[in-house]
Structure formats: structure tokens, C-alpha cells
Chains A and B, each alone.
Chain A
Amino acid sequence: MNAFVRIEYIYWLVGLWLAVCAWQNLRDRRWAMGAFWIIVASAFAFGDLIRGATAAGSRWPAQAMGAGVIALGLLAVGGRAARQPESGERSTGGLTLGNALFAPALAIPLATLAIVLIAPYVAIFGKPLIGPGQPTLVALGLACVIALIAALRTTRAAPYESLSEGRRLLDTLGCVALLPMVLATLGSVFAATGVGDAIAHIVGATIPVENRYACLAAFALGMVLFTMIMGNAFAAFPVMMAGVGLPLLVARHGAMPAVLGSLGMLTGYCGTLLTPMAANFNIVPAVLLELPDQYAVIRAQIPTALVLLCVNVMLMAILVF
């Protein structure tokens, strides 16, 4: 049974919003950025069709999207968003609107929470409000719509204003906004081309397999390094587990799988804190917060990540055997 609000509807909304940004860029004669966002918008508008076509055995839609991804790389260079000066004159409405301004901002997390909690009990026309899959993401999308309506009511701004302000923020981010998505794509490519197996092979070939602590250290460092390369502990986990964890630690040295799995994944997360490849956590905020150094967030995270890594490895050494 289909849900009333499917995740695709949210994706279409993103596509629409990105198309508006593209149009605004084209209107300002910033061709490269306009074309850039049109391609991204089409991934959202036609994503379902592309996946459907691939499942049905037709490859050209996915290949066209692939060509689009390569075009994105080239356009990103040409259309390097001239960083706009932060619009100097802010409305002084904040002083008169007072704390009422917080309501729409807090509506994003709170409405997300409320929707996730009540969705299982709500059905519209006999369909569940939200399907199983990714309830938080759908709820977040709906919450953004609710918050936007609330914000427009609170500020009594014209809807157009929210679009141009949103586009101002997206321009501040520029191509960095897209980085998480292309990096995740790279992760899939690396997985498909056997980069993971090659790394696991090298790690496996260079450690003294008789010593369980050496194996453990190799597993932990492998998780961190591979997470840093892929930008994602999820991608590193199956590789390091299949290469080192399962054959050496579990099978040979009798490690407890539950402990090894859980702590191994968290060890990978220490790597996530250290890498520009995890752009959505490390690079996007640096740009969003207008920090002069792109790597400022990573730099700040190094001490926490390293101390936590040591603690994690010690926890594993104690708990796993």
C-alpha cells in the first residue's frame, strides 16, 4: 500500500525549488551556475523514472544522468559562485517581531518530531501518512513546508522573498552544497571498482596475523583510514569487516561479533570527524557559518576525534576478547 506522502513527493519539491534557483541564476546571466542547478534539479525531478528505467533494463536514462554528473564537475569550475557580499541591510523587523521569530525556526525540528511520532496512527483516504522507508526524511520535508508557511505568516513577507533569500543562502554555499551528494556517488563508484577490496588486501597482507592486538589495531586504523577516504563509515564497515574483522578477529581470535561490530563502526565515526570527504558534516558547516578556513571545523574536531579513537580502541581491546 502506498503512503499518502511518499519520499518522491519531497524530492519533487526539492527539484522544483532548485529549478527556481536555476532560473534566478539564469535571469542574472550566471549561465554556468544556472545550468549547474538545472542538472541537479533534473536528478530530483526524474530520479524515480531513472531508477524505474534501470530496474526495467533500460540504461540510457541513467547514462544521461551520468553524463550530467560529469558536466556538473566541469560547470562547478566555470561557475565558481562569486561569493556574494552578505546583504548588508537587514530588516530591523527582528526588534518588533521579537521572540515570535523563533517559532518558525523551531517548527522545523519540532514539526519533524511531531510528524514522526503521530504518523503511524494517521491515515488519509485509507493510506498511511508516511511510508516505512525513511520516515524522518519525509517528516523533515513536510516540516520545512509547515515552517515556511509559519515564517511567511509571522514576517508577513511575500512568498517571493523567501525564495530569493533561500537562493542567497544556496549561492553562499555554491557547489559545496552538492559535495555530499557527489562524494556519496564516489563512494558507490569506489565500492563497484573494488577499491575497498584492494585496501583490505593490503592491510591483511601487512599485519602479523598471529597477534590479536595487532589485528585489532589494524582493524581500527583501517576503519579510520578507509572512512576518511570514503567519507563514510558505512562504506568502510563491510570492507574492513570482510577483510580483517571476520576472518582474523572473529574466526581466528574469537572476538565477540556484537562488540566488534558496534565499536568498529564507532571507530569509523572518529574518521568521519577528520575528513573533508564527509562534506555535509565538515565542509558545508564551515561555508554555512562563513568561516574563513574551509577546514576550520575539521581542525576543531581533531583533538576530540583522536582522544575518542584511543578510548575506543582501548574499549575494544578490553571488551571484545
Chain B
Amino acid sequence: MKSALLARSSIRFYRSHPWQLTLAIAGIALGVAVFVGIELANDSARRAFEASSVAASEQTTHRLLPTGGALSESDYRALKRDRRYVASAPVIEAPITLNLPDGPRLEMTLEGIDFIEEAAVRGLGGLLIGGGDPIRLLTEPGTLLLPDTLAARFGIASGDTLTLRAGANEFPVVVIGTIDDQRDLAPRLVTDIATAQEIAGMRGLLSRIDLRLDDASAESLAANLPVGSVLVPAAAEDQILRELTRAFNTNLTALGLLALVVGMFLIYSTISFTIVQRWRAIAVLRAIGLDRRELLTTLLGEALAIGVVGTLLGLWLGRELSEGLLELVLRTLDDLYFRRALGASDASNWIYALSAALGIGATLVSALIPALMASRREITSATRSRVERGAQVLAHRFAWAALPTAGCAVVILLLADRGLWQAFVALFLVLVAGAMLIPLATHALMRLIERPIAALAGLPGRMAVRGVIDSLSRTGVATAALTVAVATVMSIGLMIASFRVSLIEWIDTTITADLYVDIDPDSDRDIETALAEIDALPDVVGISRMRMTRIETPSGGLDLRAAAAGPEGYGVDVTAPESVSAEQALANDRGVLVSEPLAYRLNLNPGDGIDLPTATGLERFEVAGIYRDYNTAGAQLIMSLDSFRRWFDDDGLSSVGIHVSPGTDESTITAAIRQSLGTNNRARIRSTSFIRDISLVIFDRTFQVTEVMRLLAAIVAFLGIFSALMALQLERERDFAVLRSLGMSVRQLFGQNLAQTGLLGLTAGLAAIPLGTALAWLLVHVINLRSFGWSMDFIVSADAVLAGVAMAIAAALLAGIYPALVGARADMGLAWHDD
């Protein structure tokens, strides 16, 4: 009976105050929607990645890889003869160009497999046949399976003939079916191994051998490896990508959680306002015998109902949102790490459950503070001034609590010096500590500007300033919510700006040549002769040579860049030790430079050793230095080309950099280079400006998803401050009615109210500068380092800071327009009687 009456009272209150109800529901719905959207998109991408990795390595425990070039088929036959290694399958992997009829030329990977042997190693689980009979691959040479999305996109059907180009040669192939690439990490063309060997020009050679081994067999094989090969666990290859993907997802999840935190401010603001608004009624209920616990239960019950409705709405919105976000997430992963298409998969239902729990939990936590304050307040302390005095006391307590909160963040960072989640917890603690300081900072700033504002704008100006101070219970929360949002947006802006500047500097350091030529290995002209001819051209001042190769080490796959210095050196930004140049580091025959991501992942420092599989077996090299590398986000190391040739018995070149005199015409020198390379040479020549431009395009595209998240967080923050300002104006209607009665015009009152919201925006903007800078510092020096292993210069860009302050003021003013108007049009009759 009692509960029913109380519930009815609550329902009637919200029915007559639809604004508050709408804002509370909107706050939690938006927070949940952003979180769900991000998590669904993340999970879908993650599951696609997991599924493809599992598919690719299903039952395969190890891979035998060449340390340079290719494996010999005879090695495979020898292996097969040993019963311990009978579960093994040969694989050809070769880059080819697929010429589509009336379509683009696609750079793809051709994979040749032995269907009979493959079944023993990974079944055909790693190759999901979407249509067609794969046995025809065995019986009909020159046939292949096409990724089904590719077939659908270009309208290719079974029986169609396509042209594959490998080097200078072209091969007609017939499509006999499709493979399901939804679960495939690397969409590829699949054919029989014999066909692949012919197309790739690898007769008698293999790219790798997949094996299914128990521990003893693996140990035995590792001890007796064929010359020029290395045995690696199958899982190691994808480990780096897996870690990077997880780091990227963690970053996005943190952003999603942030939206939920800002949503919590909205809930707190709304619930606390509804309590203040009903304080008289609540005091009456308490006076007639409702105890504190019953009051608390009633208020939390209301919050629960709001939380459930808001969360359900948020789940639905989040699902809609995730579709757009998924595309951005996949594109980012594709651009940043995989460099190959990645499909989506259905998301897990647990995300809905987790989000629902978070949404309802966040609502209850947000409502708990005002509900506790209401239930603990003395019945007689109903006056607003007492409430505000209480708020000012609370502001001081929060400010004192900020110090240990920030201290906890530092301790967590020091104790877990590599943990990413711990870093995010510390980041959130810093954010919370900053938010805790805001009410007191608002109070202090208003005191500071009161006199100048009063001197400029007279009593109305003074009223605007004091209105902020005297409604600290509202303005403090509104400013804190806005500060949190602006500081976050500002910090991400600063991080991106720092990253962009560092990237540009890195590109300028790394790309020292004016033109880059990718060597065509199938050219019939001797490359060194051609290069000598190019070097002799009048505008050419030098050539830098480079060999890129993939090597498999006991700790995973690495990209090895063997380089010969050009006229401007190696073009490497050595970050540790600072006093060592790349030239000094690579002068040692066993000296290698290690990329920052690799150094971070393997915890390598200058002077440490790293084992690399050379032509003569594993050899230990010295980490002579660590260099900045944003190229692959993966693992790369550099050694001098001379050392590489000695250790790896590989004289090939992957690309060369051509350094030309200033003012040289690009098209003229390009034509001259092409002539030297030979008329049938299909080498790709790219200018530095092209590489630089494309890098920045990819960079900007990579951060599009972050931009969307920033926008969503800003919308939630906007609603947060709108709610708080609306509450403030409604609460002060009587004051406005008095002022109107005294002769203040609607315009004057509107201006005063808007000035007040502008002051809140200014406070939030100013407070966001130190907070946003601190968060940006953490993002640059801790989060990015722990996520990706990247170091970057921390640059406080004035643009990002000013944009943040402007955003805070603009958001506050925009959010304040309607509430200010409501306040200015207050019914003057309200001045005549008490509530």
C-alpha cells in the first residue's frame, strides 16, 4: 500500500515534469548507445579477426619457413618420409595482380595448396568453400577459387576466365567456385599447388610448410631443421596483429565508457534536480513518518525505472549506431594494420547484457549521491540557501578528495608500467580528479571575475556571476560535465595533433629520397647496371638501396629492412640512445636497429641481443639502437645492406631511393629512370610527395572513428549541460519573476541568463586546458606507448586548445539559449506567493 502510494506519487511527479524525465532517459540512452555501438562494432571486427586466424591456423601447430627466398620441395619430401612429420602440407604464397574484365587491377595473394595433404593438417576448415567443387582444382590445371565477395562485387561466375599477372607474365585462369571470405583474414585466390608454382615461377620451391606437431616432434624438428629454414609456432605470426587489434579496441571501448560517464553526469544532474524540486513534498513525507531507508528506496526505485527505460532505448540506438561505426572500425583496422580486407561477423549477445548492466548500474550510481543526500538531510533544512551552503562544503571536500584520486592514478601507472587497462584506469582517475576540482574552481574563478564583470556590466553582470556561485549545486555539476567532455575532446585533439606533427616529421626524416622505385624482380635488365646508369644521370645526386624481407624468429614474424645509406644517410630517427646515429649503430656487422613497437613488445633496450634466423642458422645480433617507426605498427628492424647480404645470402633489392638535385623536373627524371630500367620493366615509381600525401590521407582516415566518438561524447555533454541549465532556470523562476516585476525586460533577463551560461562555458573551457593537457600527455606518453609501442613528441597545439575553449563556450551558449528564454519568460505571478 505504502509502496504503491509512493510509486504513484513518483509517477505523477514525472508525468507533470516531462522535461526532466526526457532528459534523464536521453542521458542514459545516449551513454549506453555510444558504448553499445562501439562494443558491437569492436566485437564484430574482433570476432572476424579471431575467426579468420583460427581458420587459417586450425589444427596447424607450426610452420616451417624459409629464412630467405623459398624452401625446396625436396625438403618437404624428406620431411614427409619421417613418420613424425607426416601431418604436413606444402603452401605457395605469391603476390599476383588480378586483371578483372572491365574492372580494376587488384593486387592480391595467390595461395597454392595441396588439397590432399592439407586435409591432414588443417582439414579444409581454413578454407570455407562457398560454391564449386574444389576437387576440380586437382584435375583441371589453371583453375581457381575466388573470394565470394569479390565474385559478387564484380559479377564473376563459375566458368569465367580471368587473367593473373605475376612479374612480367600473364596467365589465363578459369574460376570454378568461390571461398567464403567473411571469415578470412586475407582474401586470397586459391588454387592447386602445381598451378600456383607455375604462375609464381616457383617450380620445385615452396613458400612454407604447415605442420601439425606434438611437443616432442616439434623439438626434434627444431633440432634438425633443413638448411635455410626456421620453425615457428603457428600462433606467433598473428600475435602482433592480435595485440594491436586489442589495443585499438581497448582505446575505442574507453571512449565508449567515457560517453557513459558523461551520461552519468546527466543522470546525476536530473535526479538531483527532481529531488530539489520535490524537497518540500519529501520533507512532508519524512515528517509524517517515512524513514530514510524508505525514502532512499523510493528514489532509487525511480532511478531504476528510468535506467531500465533509458538502457533499453540505448541498446536499440546502439545497435543502429554500430552499423555505421563498424564500417569505420574495419576500415581503420584495414588501413592501419592488416592492409587487407576484413569482413564483419555477427556480434555477441553478451554485449547487450553487459551494456544493460552498465546502463542500469550507471543510473543507480548516479542517482545514489543525490538520493543519499536527500535521505540524510534534516527535515527542517529545506531552504535553498542551506542546500547551496551544503554544496559549497561538498565542493571543498571534492577538491580535497581530488588529490588522493590523482595520487592513485600515479601509483597505478608506476605499479603496472606496461598494462593498458591499468593505464586507462589511471586516465579515468585523472579525469575524475579533474572533475572533482571543478566546482571549487568554478567558485574561485567567479570570485575572481566578479569585480571586473560588475565594473563592466553593473549589477546585472554581478548577478550573473553570483548566480553561478549561489547555485553551485547545479552549476558545479554542469561545469564539471562540460569540462570532462571538453577536456576529453581537447586531449584527443592534442594527441592527434601531436601524432600528426610527429608523423610528418617522421616522414620527412625517413623519406629522404625524392623518388622511390619498387624493383621488378622479373625484369630482364640487370638491376645494378640499370642503377649505375641512373646514378650517372646529371640530375641524380645519389641512390639509396633497400631490401625488405619477412623473417620468422622464435618470437614471431618480423619485417627486416636492410638498407644502404643514401646521400642523406639512412633516414632513420633514432630515439635511443640519443647520442647514437643510425650510421654509427649500423657500422657494426651484428648491429641492428629495432623499431619502437618491436622494442616495446619484446622489452628490448640498446645493448640487448636478438636472435635472427640467418642463412647459417640462428645468430645473435646486438640492438644498437631503437628508432621511431609508424610504418606498420608491427615489428621491424633495420640492418645495413652489406651485413644483410653477408648473413642472409640474399643479393636482391626491393626498392631504391633516387636523390635528385633541387628543381629537377619530376616527369623528366621519371622518364629517364624508366628508360634506364628497361622498356619492359614494370617498376612502380612513386614521388616523395605522393607517399607523404597518401600517408596523411590514411592517417586522417584512421582517426575518423575517433572523430565520430568525439562528436558523440560532445552531444552527450551538450545534453548534460542543457539539462543542468534547464534545471537551474526552472529552479530560479521565482527570482526571475521578481526581477521582471522590478522592471527587468525579457531581453535583459535573457541576456543575463545567457551571460551566466557563457561564464559556465568559459569556466569549463579554461578548466579543460590543464585537464585536457594532462590527459593528452597520458594518451601520448602512456596509452599510445602501451597500445602500439609508438613514441611521439608531445605538442600542445594552440589550435586544439582554443578549439576546446571555443567549443565549451559555444556548447554552453547553445545549450543555454532555450533555458535562458524559459527563465526570462518566467510567470511574474510566481513572485507573489510561495510554492
A and B interact:
no
Residues of chain B at the chain A interface (Cβ within 8 Å)? none
